[in-house]
A = this chain, B = another copy of it.
Amino acid sequence: MSKGLRARQDMEKERETLQAWKERVGQELDRVVAFWVEHSHDQEHGGFFTCLSREGRVYDDLKYVWLQGRQVWMYCRLYRTFQRFHHSQLLNAAKGEFLLRYARLAPPGKKCAFVLTRDGRPVKVQRTIFSECFYTMAMNELWRATGEVRYQTEAVEMMDQIVHWVREDASGLGRPQLQGAPTAEPMAVPMMLLNLVEQLGEADEELAGKYTELGDWCARRILQHVQRDGQAVLENVSEDGKELSGCLGRQQNPGHALEAGWFLLRHCIRKGDPELRAHVVDKFLLLPFRSGWDPDHGGLFYFQDADDFCPTQLEWAMKLWWPHSEAMIAFLMGYSESGDPVLLRLFYQVAEYTFRQFRDPEYGEWFGYLSREGKVALSIKGGPFKGCFHVPRCLAMCEEMLGALLSRP
């Protein structure tokens, strides 16, 4: 067999594998969306139930604002970008006024609740920006899906408020000033903001321009979390990019680093910066995977300590769904951009583990929480922190990226 023939056969095989994954991912997306459509819509009060048992039973009717915003965003996104999801059931469920009416605690104030009763009364507030970030994502997608300007007004005004809290004055969040509290920056803050910059700037030259400087600032701040001569991504650093003392300073979260990785990859694509891209692949994709993948049982650890002390989080060795869905996105995006076959192999490795361990072939959607060994530890499909978001976002993005790879000549 000639060299050329063998190379062509290898390429054929590669295409078949990509094609098989595209079909697998697409079918899984259909099943996952069907689960949420069947079980999560609150026909009486609007909004979504997210506390769903394995079978889809509502075991609590509280409405977590992160998850309300994420599900609105996801439905609009699917409606807008997938022909087969372009139907009114998804859009009508997303359009319900629940979030717009109840998320904000005391309009015209911008602070949002963390969790609401079924009929929209506030139960808890967090002194962070995250409810507001998911609210912004939802409103921007609602505007894109419906064309109704009031949604975009909400999105942009909330975005301005968030940026003010993060860069100007955090006092509106209500955190007490304590003498011994370190001025730590959780990586989540610039990550979320960078994600919003991408969301609001998508095909919108005006807003993309408005947020260019902010996007660069976010990227710089995320990159500051690479510490110890490039050998570790730390979850919390000081605002001027120094390692903090104690457990807080040494904390690592491999799945979170991988998620930051694909946010940064998109930033590199916008910027056209292959040098930064190579750095991101190295530090935010390969490094967290090497340190975070469990050599004994497979899967990504949830938390690690940069000095190899035992983390104090009880769930540190558990395998959670979202680090794996984020890793799938990160490696496939890394491969799509760089063509490095190592990244494609890692996508396959993570995707095989993820589909084998987290899928529920019986009732649909994925389990969220496995033991270190990979046994289902919590049988819930949704809860206070798991809704209709990471799984369908991963499947939708992978389906799109696999499609794009297959359509290359």
Once the chains bind, are B125 and A178 in contact (CB under 8 Å)?
A: yes
How distant is the Cα of A59 from the Cα of B384 in the complex, in angstroms?
31
26 examples of A-B residue contacts, CB within 8 angstroms: A51-B246, A51-B247, A54-B310, A59-B246, A59-B247, A59-B307, A60-B312, A61-B246, A62-B246, A62-B247, A113-B178, A120-B180, A121-B179, A121-B180, A122-B179, A123-B178, A123-B181, A123-B182, A125-B176, A311-B378, A312-B378, A312-B383, A314-B378, A315-B315, A371-B371, A371-B372
Cβ of B369 and Cβ of A314 under 8 Å apart? Answer: yes
8 Å CB interface, A298-337 against B: 305, 307, 309-312, 314-318
A117 on the B face (CB < 8 A): yes
Dominant secondary structure of chain A at its interface with chain B: loop
Residues of A participating in the B interface, judged by any CB pair closer than 8 Å? 51, 53-54, 59-62, 113, 116-117, 120-125, 176, 178-182, 245-247, 305, 307, 309-312, 314-318, 369, 371-372, 377-380, 383-384
How far is it, in angstroms, between the C-alpha of A179 and the C-alpha of B178 when the chains are bound?
28
Contact of A247 with B125 in the complex, beta carbons under 8 Å: no
Of the residues B117, B181, B378, contact of A316 by C-beta under 8 Å:
B378
User: In angstroms, how far is the closest chain B Cβ from the Cβ of A231?
Assistant: 19
Residues of chain B contacted by A178 (CB below 8 angstroms): 113, 121-125
Expressed in whole angstroms, the minimum distance between the Cβ of A320 and any Cβ of chain B is 9
> Taking the full assembly, how many copies of this chain does it contain?
2
Q: How far is the CA of A377 from the CA of B311 in the complex (A)?
A: 10
Q: Give the residues in chain B near A62, CB-CB below 8 Å.
A: 246-247
**Residues in chain B near residue A117, CB distance under 8 A:** 180
Known contacts A116-B180, A121-B180, A316-B378; 13 further A-B pairs (Cβ under 8 A): A51-B246, A51-B247, A51-B312, A59-B247, A59-B307, A60-B312, A61-B245, A62-B247, A121-B178, A123-B181, A310-B379, A312-B380, A315-B315
